[in-house]
A and B are shown apart, each in its own frame.
Chain A
């Protein structure tokens, strides 16, 4: 159990999706102008990570891995479908995002209007596909992948909320013209990333 919590803490702070792997930078930069939208998108990412990573774990273990189809019939044990990984993962993600979108539209209309176009864009948020691919590459067990999903989601949420807060302050400062907007956003992210590197000293 402790080990799994360690995985979650590690993915939130030390191997943060945004600051260590730059995953999900597109929506991270685009949505962070408004704090509330950033908060909502962060929550949506947590939910989608928690849905897709365990789901992809099942698909990977029972369909895609070499020999994974042995449960169907012993003669299938030589089948290796792992080259289909990308296609299956992205299809799972696209359909779960569609589901999450429908649920949010039905039960949280305010959040739905705030997120607007960006909910469908979670499909192409690399943090989501990246989470599934890391789960695949690091061979997590089911429990580990759930905690990894939680950590990845919370880490991304934390990053975008922090960044949106800083960005709101920056709006009132006098910045060199060519650096305004995007250029400065990168440098702020870098500074946040350097701050997060401080967590690397934690021994788990």
Chain B
């Protein structure tokens, strides 16, 4: 009995420590008072002014566009690369895996600066497209990382079976192999999307003067002092990621239920 209570207490403490900062943030986003340690009553004022702030809205739009585009493109390239690597012989495949893993382990600042240097060296104007290219670059390894294990699990014979039953190689891939690796592709896309949303350092080095994503915008704003709008913005980001996760988890649950029927 005591053990049970102690266990529950322990778990509660962990959750509290994990989520207390976010909870504080959410509470503050509804705080009428601008002070961080005084409750001045409930308000939606910060949310309203947030949506009226064109700069922030533009940054949000840019962030989402870059996250979406870079995730989509990285997913396509990464999935294709995984398929190619999967059919390689063992030694070249291990080497390729190593090569694709390095950018993930590399410090963001190094990746950021080297990308910037590259763009400058080839006279590529920094701006929206350079940020997009940079995001695609650092997203590809994450896609490969989540697609590869799925591909290795799939029975190689299913592709051959589809060919055997008369499907063209293209059709066999999309009807049989792709549905099999779909969960890996989706989680790769999600991972890439999140990484892109999350990124500050690489964006910071590869963006031009006019381009701002949310993270670079928040950074610029906080240098002038943190405004309550930022709490509201961060709360919205947190809630959307949370919703996304819930949706994906439920989807996976219903798939596994259908399977075990």
Task: Answer whether A and B are interacting partners.
Answer: no
B residues neighboring A (CB under 8 Å): none
